[in-house]
Amino acid sequence: MIQINIHEKSCRGCQLCVETCPTDVFAFSEETQLAAVDRIERCIECLSCAFICPSNAITQTNYHAVKNFYWDIEHVKKLGSFL
């Protein structure tokens, strides 16, 4: 099964991964202002979270690449705020 890791020191708490994931894998902690992998069993291995993360904080291992069918252009546009 896919493993997803968020590098805590790289995460800037933008929540783009939370908003982008089509299957609601991530949770966001108001206390720490960081995203976390919460429901890995829902992951469909689309890799959109790593694609959207402006900090390159998300890495995936042990996955089978599938078509990146979930690229939401509105979320991609938000990237401009972080560059």
Q: Which residues bind ligand SF4 (CB under 6 A)?
A: 4, 6, 11-17, 20-23, 25, 35, 43-49, 52-55, 57-58
CB 36 within 8 A of CB 26: yes
* Minimum CB distance to ligand SF4 smaller for 22 or for 76: 22
* Minimum CB distance to ligand SF4 smaller for 15 or for 76: 15
CB of residue 58 to ligand SF4, shortest distance in Å: 5
CB of residue 47 to ligand SF4, shortest distance in Å: 5
